[in-house]
Amino acid sequence: QVQLVESGGGLVQAGGSLRLSCAASGRTFSTYTMGWFRQAPGKDREFVSAIRNSGIRTDYANSVKGRFTISRDNAKNTVYLQMNSLKPEDTAVYYCAARFDYSGIYYREYEYAYWGQGTQVTVSS
């Protein structure tokens, strides 16, 4: 069982930056692929980024590629999402998710077993 707690959301002007954190409970964090998803009002939850258990491989949605960076610190049981050059369309609740896996990157909600409660990111124009 893994419990995830996100933090770092807030209100920022367009062009600004935020760094989201997701702290995981348990001693097996290094065996989990971690993902970030987001859900804007009136829209479905969508994939943002993911990172393999080792941190070697990452991937991003096209809409955030070049602006967002995912990373993890397995010693601290934490995954991060550095968000730069934020746009109003990045406004959403951001969720981190975990999947017990050694081998890949996953892009769909149903592929992740554990979810955090979400943190609100609001980008003003």
Per-residue pLDDT at 118: 98
Q: Is 87 exposed, middle or buried (0-12, 13-18, 19+ CB in 10 A)?
A: middle
**CA 11/CA 114 separation, integer angstroms:** 26
Per-residue pLDDT at 101: 85
**CA 68/CA 61 separation, integer angstroms:** 9
Per-residue pLDDT at 27: 73
pLDDT in tens, the chain (125 residues): 889 999 999 999 999 999 999 999 977 898 999 999 999 999 999 999 999 998 889 999 999 999 999 999 999 999 999 999 999 999 999 999 999 987 789 999 999 999 999 999 999 99
**CA 56/CA 66 separation, integer angstroms:** 17
Q: Which two tokens stand for residue 68?
A: 């967002």
